[in-house]
């Protein structure tokens, strides 16, 4: 049986460091939920503000990390729990991004829908291109196309 309960961002980030294939831990977030089987941690979801400024309307949250050890049904249970918790806080929509080469089965199982393909690009706009210290900016993930998934009230 999968048990869901709140965890700290630090605890969830430890799982991201251990299990996530292509992302590093997050710097900040709103909340995190952990999944446990027989008392052992098997996954976590971290929810924060949308990274894209155009989506940050105060009523939208983003799943910024979702990680499991591969235990069946954990990812979709975490997505469902994140949405229910967010709705209880007045959030009207949640978004999340996956790589274009991932299936998104857990999102579909949790009632989310695929809404857009987003072209991969680096964070080289704004003041980052003119920084004079080499190595000051280091990308946190690979630059690949992504699929945006959403769920709304």
The per-residue pLDDT for range 20-51, each reduced to its tens digit, is 877 788 988 999 999 999 999 999 999 999 98
Residues above pLDDT 70, as percent of the chain:
86
The per-residue pLDDT for range 97-122, each reduced to its tens digit, is 999 999 999 999 999 999 999 987 66
The dihedral through the CA atoms of 22, 62, 29, 125 has a sign that is positive
Q: Where are the alpha helices (DSSP H) in the chain?
A: 9-19, 74-88, 105-109
pLDDT surpassing 70 at residue 140: no
| Residue 133 confidence (pLDDT) | 55
| Residue 126 confidence (pLDDT) | 53
pLDDT surpassing 70 at residue 88: yes
Largest CA distance in the chain: 53
- Are 49 and 26 in contact by the 8 Å Cβ rule? The answer is no
| Residue 16 confidence (pLDDT) | 95
d(CA 37, CA 73): 12
How does DSSP classify residue 76? H
> Structure tokens of 151?
């769920």
What domains lie within the chain, and their CATH numbers? 2-128+143-152 (3.40.630.30)
User: Which among 49, 5, 54 has a CA at the least distance from the CA of 28?
Assistant: 49
């Amino acid at each position: 049986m999968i048990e869901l309960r709140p965890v700290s961002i630090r605890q969830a980030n430890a799982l991201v460091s251990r299990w996530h294939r292509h992302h590093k831990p997050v710097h900040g977030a709103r909340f995190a939920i952990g999944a446990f089987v027989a008392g052992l941690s098997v996954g976590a979801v971290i929810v924060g503000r949308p990274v894209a400024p155009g989506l940050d309307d105060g009523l939208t949250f983003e799943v910024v990390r979702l990680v499991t050890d591969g235990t069946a049904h954990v990812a979709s249970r975490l997505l469902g729990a994140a949405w229910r918790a967010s709705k209880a806080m007045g959030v009207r929509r949640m978004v999340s991004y996956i790589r274009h080469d991932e299936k998104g089965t857990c999102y579909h199982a949790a009632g989310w829908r695929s809404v857009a393909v987003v072209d991969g690009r680096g964070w080289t706009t704004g003041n980052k291109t003119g920084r004079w210290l080499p190595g000051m900016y280091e990308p946190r993930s690979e630059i690949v196309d992504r699929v945006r998934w959403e769920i709304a009230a």
